[in-house]
Amino acid sequence: MLDVITIGDGMVTMDPKTSGPLRFVNEFERKVGGAELNFAVGSARLGLRTKWISRLGNDEFGRHILHFMRGEGIDVSEVAMVDSFPTSVNFKEVMEGGQGRTFYYREKSPMSTLYAADIKPEMFAKARVLHITGVFPSIAEKNIDIIRRAIAIAKDEGLLVSLDPNIRLKMWRLERARDVLLSFLPDIDILMTGLDEAEMLFGVRDNHDVEKAVKSHGIETFAVKKGANGAYAIHSGEKVEAEAIPVNQVVDTVGAGDGFDAAFIYGILQGWKLERVVDFATLVGSMVVGVRGDNEGLPHLEDALIKMGEKTGIER
């Protein structure tokens, strides 16, 4: 039995040891990252049975990522190690307030060896959710076909399909991103989007207008992530707006949205009331930004419940 499946790139992430423009950074720390990878890690730490479909270079970086994911308890049976295709790398630039940029080096990516025909119905057997993002289809045109096939199989197998648009304008033009992502929406059951991405997709920012636009595509469960301004969501006729969780210091915002997604899906699968789902997802996102790294701040379920005050933690 599986709870969630996701498809996407895995990269070695070089995190700067000092903040500021990348050209002045001399030392880096090797970590791992990727939007779908982060979502898989966040899901597994919350206790969801998680499968990650990917390709890695048959090199030391690829082995490092594979061992890391296996160590998180993630099903990596559909991760293949590919000869002569180096594992992708990215370098992060982090400024004092936690914001930054990412510079990608993913030419001849091992993911270029994955095709739509490789996606088989048996991969989705007895799973509950397929989670996709806008990152993987932005990397190469053929990846759009991979996602379309995955969605079609997931729907045939009775899975819910969730989408985080995660629009990266470094990867594709806005017009192309909008066309592709909007074409996915008729088959999407759960949409989780940032406010800026909602505006890119639908041309609106107001809560009511976003709700109207999303529902016009037949989506009844969605969340809009507004960063420091909290989040709001709609599910099964309920509507909830939550304030942001105060954070002592924001050191790295990468991965916060992926953590929110994992926590939101977790709450929905548990059958929680929407208010608790949104509070939980907002809390998990806030825990991520206080830790440097793409996924180091993604909490285990017990830690999140302690933070929510639903469980007692013993420190000594």
Q: Which residues are catalytic?
A: 258
Structure-block tokens of residue 86 = 């180096």
Token pair of 274 as six digits: 């929407």
Looking at beta carbons, which pairs linking 155-159 to residues 24 or more positions away fall under 8 Å? 155/187, 156/121, 157/121, 157/124, 157/125, 157/127, 159/5, 159/124, 159/127, 159/128, 159/129, 159/130
What does the CA dihedral 117, 121, 124, 126 come to, rounded to 10 degrees?
-170
Q: Could you give the count of Cα atoms lying within 13 Å of 174 in the half-sphere of its Cβ?
A: 8
